């Protein structure tokens, strides 16, 4: 699985109808580690504890093409 560092984050309180039942939820842009097959930045959803800029995160799953990351232990 991919890992990286949170570049920026936000909490969504008002979402499109397709996601309205999931609010509030956190999204982030993650700077992927250089060891990742495709280094760069990736927009993702955050699951579990809230993350902050600079936190290390790891990918835990992909749902409908959306990567979900959580704070690294």
Q: Are strands 3-12 and 25-32 parallel, antiparallel or unpaired?
A: antiparallel
pLDDT in 10s for each residue of the chain, 73 residues: 899 999 999 999 999 998 899 999 999 999 999 877 777 999 999 999 999 999 999 999 999 899 999 999 8
Residue 34: predicted pLDDT: 84
The total domain count for the chain is 1
Identify the domain containing residue 30 by its residue range. 3-71
Q: What's the chain's Rg over C-alpha atoms?
A: 12
Give the domain CATH number at 42: 2.40.50
Can you give the pTM of this predicted structure?
0.89
Burial letters for 41-54: b for 16+ Cβ neighbours within 10 Å, e otherwise? Answer: ebebbbbeeebeee
């Amino acid at each position: 699985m991919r890992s990286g560092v949170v570049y920026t984050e936000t909490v969504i309180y008002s979402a499109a109808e397709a996601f309205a039942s999931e609010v509030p939820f956190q999204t982030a842009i993650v700077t992927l580690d250089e060891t990742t097959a495709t280094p760069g930045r990736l927009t993702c959803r955050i699951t579990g504890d809230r993350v902050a800029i600079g936190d290390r995160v790891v990918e835990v799953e992909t749902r409908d093409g959306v990567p979900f990351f959580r704070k690294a232990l």
